[in-house]
Amino acid sequence: MVRMRGTREQKAETRERIVEAAGRLFRRHGIDAVGVDAVMHAAGLTHGGFYGHFASKEALVAEVAAASLARSAARWEQISEEEPPAQALGRIVDAYLDAAHVANAEGGCVLTTLGPDVARRAEARPAIAVSVRAMAAALERCGAGGEAAALAALSTMVGAVVLARLADSPEFSETILEAARAALSPVRQGEGG
């Protein structure tokens, strides 16, 4: 296999690779369906090395959930700062309520893939809540209305993706996404909250 080049920075990179691989696998197959073995293999390592990076699988889960959602929040913040409000809101909402997002659970929003599972793990919740606030704040900054309107919009987005993944046909899935898009259109025209 690939030999490591040694230093501490290398180890940090490896750790990040583990977190990213775990993030993809957990979101796709569910946390309990993916063993430490599978995560390490996906990161190009053997399972024994895992405990040089994390105290337990639970610690990895907490870090994965926090890191993945923080990244989503950071992306929204960046869009909300770089683009005109209406355009930024459109980009965020349209990308979220998209069939590609529904199909790509592996790379999708943690709230829609692991939300209920993370909610059962008290240690993971504080970091998640911080990102939820940040995501709502980004929507607010895009002109989605006040805090309440932004939280409601986020709720609609999360719920729609969860339901779209439960649909029994691509058509029903798209109907749900379109319904959510339509419901959010007043918010996008500055009529929300």
Site string for a copy of itself, 81-120 (x = CB under 8 A): ------------------------x-----xxxxxxxxxx
125 within 8 A of 119, measured Cβ to Cβ: yes
d(CA 58, CA 62): 6
Spatial neighbors of 57 by CB under 8 A, at least 6 apart, are: 36
- If one asks whether residue 30 binds a copy of itself (CB under 8 A), the answer comes out as yes
Residue 44 Cβ vs DNA, minimum distance, rounded to whole Å: 7
98: its two tokens: 């998209």
58 binds, among a copy of itself, DNA, none (CB under 5 to 8 A by kind): DNA
Residue 7 Cβ vs DNA, minimum distance, rounded to whole Å: 5
To which residue do tokens 């230093």 refer?
7
Residue 27 Cβ vs a copy of itself, minimum distance, rounded to whole Å: 9
Backbone angles phi, psi at 39, to 5 degrees: -60, -50
23: its two tokens: 């993030």
Stretch that binds a copy of itself, among 17-25, 35-43, 71-79, 128-136 (CB under 8 A): 128-136
142 within 8 A of 92, measured Cβ to Cβ: yes
**Phi and psi based region of residue 130 (left: phi greater than 0; alpha: psi -120 to 50; beta: remaining):** alpha
Residues near a copy of itself, by CB under 8 A = 29-33, 105, 111-120, 125-126, 128-130, 132-133, 147-160, 162-163, 165-169, 172, 175-176, 178-180, 182-183, 192-193
Q: Where on the chain is the footprint of DNA (CB under 7 A)?
A: 1, 3-8, 10-11, 14, 34-38, 40, 45-53, 56-58
